[in-house]
Amino acid sequence: MKVNNITVNIIFFCLSLFPNILFAQSTQIPGDPPKVMLERTEIRVLHSEIVGQDYELFISLPYSYSDTETDYPVIFLLDPYRAFSMMKGFTDVLAAPFQIIPEVILVGIGYGGEGLNARLNYAVGRVRDYTPEQDFYTEERYESLITDAGIEETDVISGKASAFLDFIHLELFPFIESNYRIDSQDRMLSGYSFGGTFALYTLFKEPELFDKYFIGSPSVDFKDKVLFDYENDYSKTHCDLKAHVFISVGGNERSFGDNQEMVDSLYSRNYKSLELIKVVFDNESHTSCYPAAMSRGLIELFKEKDK
């Protein structure tokens, strides 16, 4: 042990004599550094005949995927360009080495493109796909924002959530389930903001497509609160709603009251099979609330139910 300690001390002493050399070496940047890749992640392209869109799919596989024959729960994630790496990080760290949630397959649904074009495809695509009805105010607002970013002559169309939902059900589900080992009885839809709007729309239109719903800060004020009409219409024709739902909102969000109103409406129906969890994140804004909501939502939605 003495010899090892002396050796280590000598090494550190020698290194301390040449700080400038070490600094110079550590700050050298190669001309073409390697790109960072997310482990166990694939990119696929799936054309939708229903929507007329090539969707870029980000697919993350579990740690154990290549070593097992297991069928895994699957999360379908909206807005992957801002949320995929965050969701992958949470699902990885919560699954191992200390398992809080099961390992999952993660499928992010994106729009493709490069650079500024990718951002444009994303902005236009999400307005079209996530909104349940056409809203001229939303279209004009996004066209103005895109023009301010230096891009002219861009048409923004809203209100195509029905077609997007058909794409997920009739085209995306079969593609994923034929290429990956999916537990088709354990699907989760994850949406935030307009993505949360689409998740609520799905909950009221075809709730059986997913077992779990992460609905973060949904834009329930969209088009004069039209989502309340969908919720009310569902309650008139159904006596139950079988789903495990997590809804969150930041305490500093302007839509705080509208989100609470939606939760109160759902609670008032007394659906026997609805598991509804509402969490308010104090002192969080619409932007800052997302990471906290995602982590909490995963834990709440995947934790074991009482037998």
Domain ranges of the chain: 41-302
Instruction: Determine the Cα–Cα distance for residues 84 and 106; give it in Å rounded to an integer.
Output: 8
The predicted pLDDT at position 58 comes to 96
Whether residue 55 contacts residue 110, with contact meaning beta carbons closer than 8 Å, is answered with yes
Task: Output phi, psi for 180, to 5 deg.
Answer: -135, 160
Selection from 161, 150, 157 nearest residue 117 by Cα? 150
Let me know how many helices (H) and strands (E) the chain has, helices first. Answer: 11, 8
Residue type, 227: L
Please give the full DSSP string across 63-129, using - where no structure is assigned: TTGGG----EEEEEESSHHHHHHHHHHHHHHHHSSS-SS---EEEEEE---SHHHHHHHHHHHHHHH
Biggest alpha carbon–alpha carbon distance for the chain = 82
The predicted pLDDT at position 29 comes to 64
C-alpha gyration radius of the chain: 23
How big is the CA angle at 59 (ends 218 and 203), to the nearest 5 degrees?
A: 30
The CATH code of the domain at 41-302 is 3.40.50.1820
pLDDT mean values, one per 10 residues, the chain (307 residues): 43 39 52 82 96 96 94 97 94 94 97 84 94 95 88 90 98 98 97 97 98 97 96 97 97 92 97 97 95 97 69
Instruction: Determine the Cα–Cα distance for residues 305 and 119; give it in Å rounded to an integer.
Output: 40
The predicted pLDDT at position 35 comes to 80
For residue 113, give every residue at least 6 positions away whose Cβ sits within 8 Å of its Cβ, in sequence order, or none.
Answer: 119, 120, 121, 122
List pLDDT tens digits, range 257-273.
999 999 999 999 999 99
What is each CA distance from 2 to 11, 12, 203, 278, in whole angstroms? 14, 16, 68, 60
Instruction: Determine the Cα–Cα distance for residues 229 and 220; give it in Å rounded to an integer.
Output: 11
Instruction: Determine the Cα–Cα distance for residues 301 and 251; give it in Å rounded to an integer.
Output: 21
